[in-house]
Amino acid sequence: MSALTAVHTIADLRSLVARWRKAGERVALVPTMGALHEGHISLTQIAREKGAKTLVSIFVNPTQFAPHEDFGKYPRTFEADCARLRTAQVDAVFAPLPEDIYPEGFCTTISLAGPATAGLEDKFRPTHFAGVATIVAKLLLQATPDLAIFGQKDFQQLAVIRQMALDLDLHIEIIGAPTIRAEDGLALSSRNAYLSQEERAIAPLLHANMQAAAKAIVAGGAIETTLDQARTAITQAGFAIDYLELRDARSLAKIEKLSDRPLRLLAAARLGKTRLIDNIAVNG
């Protein structure tokens, strides 16, 4: 197992990155909220493959949770996370204190449009992306990495971050990494830990029905009819659907008919108290 440097202050983070830079290293940041699983580890592997020093941030960001959401019970497993990062040969972990990230008087938020207002996650979590964009901008400015890696599982989040990095001239390569799934197709997520045994058995049906719908659409099925059938099947399996939508993969705009542009099928659905999100490519 390799050594994992842990830093907790912004000053220590900046010194560490400055040492790496002086030694001619490139730096990759993998922002996370901890409760790490194989999906997160796959992001660190991409950083290593790029030959960069790998820095993982762990911060459960309060501003991206609405008051009724799961901020309080979000899993916090710092020691286990560090053990996983050591095994994955990650170079450093940055785990700041909330009061250093949001000191008294903090009052700046990034205001978003474009992919952040596509009517998907934003419709159900209206304050979420402002919180995400603000913390990600802060982490990118604190760590000044050459590249930052995010999972495609949060597909709209990835689009929001790409747009923000472009608009603010951050000059950091944003990499979107494929979703890692359990053998039964369930997308890995820290929130899967909330599922009961019974719910866990039902959970893969979200992805299975999405795959069936994508296949039917590619085979020429009418888009809205196919989506309605999938919505019915997902509801009958026990989910309460927030959305199941076919969108342009780049702009996240609504689409009326198939074209040769890449499309994405995106869904959010609640199973008991757990909210699951997923998305798949439809035509390349």
Q: Determine, following the binding rule CB under 6 A, whether residue 164 of this chain makes contact with ligand PAF.
A: no
- Cα→Cα distances 38→41, 91, 181, 235, 237, Å: 5, 17, 9, 29, 27
Q: Closer to ligand PAF at the Cβ: 148 or 255?
A: 148
Q: Determine, following the binding rule CB under 6 A, whether residue 101 of this chain makes contact with ligand PAF.
A: no
Q: Which stretch binds ligand PAF (CB under 6 A): 27-35, 104-112, 196-204, 227-235?
A: 27-35
Active site residue 40: yes
* Number of residues binding to ligand PAF, judged by CB under 6 A: 10
Q: Closer to ligand PAF at the Cβ: 91 or 121?
A: 121
117 to 146: interface string for ligand PAF, x by CB under 6 A: ---------------x--xx----------
- Which residue out of 40, 128, 171, 207 is catalytically annotated? 40
Q: Determine, following the binding rule CB under 6 A, whether residue 152 of this chain makes contact with ligand PAF.
A: no
User: Which sequence positions are flagged as catalytic?
Assistant: 40
**Which residues here bind ligand PAF, judged by CB under 6 A?**
31-33, 61, 64, 132, 135-136, 154, 157
